[in-house]
Structure 1
Amino acid sequence: MTVDIWSDVMCPWCAIGYTQFAQAVVALEGELAVDIRWMPFELNPDMPTEGRRQDDHLAAALGRPADQIAQMRQQVIDAAQAVGFPMRETGDDGAPSMVWNTFAAHRLLRWALNTSGPEAQTRLKLALLHAHFADHRAVGQEAVLIDIAAEAGFDRAAATAALADEALAAETRAEEQRGIQSGINSVPSFVIGGRFLLPGSREPEAFVKALRKIAWMDEEQAERF
């Protein structure tokens, strides 16, 4: 069973939702084999490369005062930690929560899938999520992305070349458009077998139930899903 996860590195619920989904996959070991592919979706495609402080970005986007933004952010951190993802308010060096442009990260993820396969791509995706939400590294900067890729076991020179590959950039843009045209308008979105959409995060047991149902349904049932 192939599962395409439309996601953005900036999305905290993508980190939370995948952690819950991964727990479901572990629970189904020996029953279902699941191949995961990460697909590109940019929450903030117009974000400049230098990024923006998250509190400023959320205040402008939501029109809420600082105390409400801080409360919302803490609720998300608590939710992440409750499912086992190490999300933090700041990095060890005090680096604040930031919002970055993620197109370069998506290009690198596409390259990882094309050249090394789904498992390697997931390894890179998790490294990027941890770098952003736990370590507060500047994942919008290409030099930082190359460092993260190298730390995740990828060839540094090849990763550098990938970020300069215009054909790869065009392919990534095309995948973004394909997602939008297919009705993907929020993340995380889990597309099972190219047909069945499970939007948002949910408890592992709910993912288990949905994956089992999809795996065993016949064509008539699939049309009614």
Structure 2
Amino acid sequence: MTKPLKIDFVSDVSCPWCIVGLGGLETALERVGDLVEAEIHFQPFELNPNMPPEGQNIVEHIGEKYGATPEQSAANRKAIHERAASVGFTMKTSETSRIYNTYVLASGQYAQEVREAERAWHTAGISSVPAVIINDRYLISGGQPAEYFEKALRQIAAEA
């Protein structure tokens, strides 16, 4: 019997690990087939709400935020590229890449809605993305591989 699953995928469009996590989740959903019927709700989140409109060099940003050296930042970007490729996504970044606020957020059209959703997720305990919440009960954090998501989906379906 197919088990319905509500999946909230909390992500920031500027976070490369979110596309990696989404790829892992989508692959896992394909693998479990008719075991579950997933309804995915994409939820907004800003990892860096105070980022200036002109953006910032990614190496500088990662160094300031996480204390990473340029070498650590390069190794992390390599790992992201490899993981993204494993889920069929080609990352296009370089040393001069910048993180930009999106035009839509800069326009203010959806800013209040995004900020309210972000506050709600912060209140719920989310501080990093991707965050995958299943049936308002189970949390999977980070850009996990498909195998991890698949195991979790099968366990949750068995409990439902």
* TM-score, structure 1 normalization: 0.62
CA separation in 1, counterparts of 2:97 and 2:29?
30
Which residue of the partner structure matches residue 96 of structure 1?
96
In the alignment, structure 1 residue 205 sits paired with structure 2 residue 155: no
Which of 47, 59, 72 matches 1:68? 72
User: 1:9-57 CA deviation, whole Å, 9 max, x = no partner?
Assistant: 1111111111011001111222211111111111110001111111221
Partner AA of 2:103 in structure 1: Q
Aligned residues: 155
The offset of 1:191, in angstroms, is 0.4
Q: CA RMSD in A?
A: 2.2
Which residue of the partner structure matches residue 38 of structure 1?
42
Which of 85, 97, 122 matches 1:180? 122
The 5-angstrom pairing of residues 125-204 of structure 1 reads: 140-142=102-104, 165=109, 168-204=110-146
Of Structure 1 and Structure 2, which has the larger fraction of its residues in strand?
2
* TM-score, structure 2 normalization: 0.84
1:33 alignment partner, SS class: strand
Change (3 A) 1:164 1:48: closer
The offset of 1:208, in angstroms, is 1.8
Change (3 A) 1:64 1:189: closer
Which residue of the partner structure matches residue 109 of structure 1?
none
The offset of 1:59, in angstroms, is 2.4
CA contact (8 A) 1:5 1:190 kept: yes
1:84 alignment partner, SS class: coil
Structure 1 residue runs of 5 or longer lacking an equivalent are 102-139, 146-162, 219-225
Change (3 A) 1:190 1:64: closer
CA separation in 1, counterparts of 2:20 and 2:76?
15
Of Structure 1 and Structure 2, which has the larger fraction of its residues in helix?
1
CA separation in 1, counterparts of 2:136 and 2:41?
11
CA contact (8 A) 2:81 2:91 kept: yes
Change (3 A) 1:209 1:77: same
User: 1:133-180 CA deviation, whole Å, 9 max, x = no partner?
Assistant: xxxxxxx234xx9xxxxxxxxxxxxxxxxx554xx4333222111111
Percent identity of equivalent pairs: 35
Runs of 4+ in structure 1 deviating by more than 3 angstroms, as ranges, are: 62-65
Structure 2 residue runs of 5 or longer lacking an equivalent are none
Partner AA of 2:158 in structure 1: W
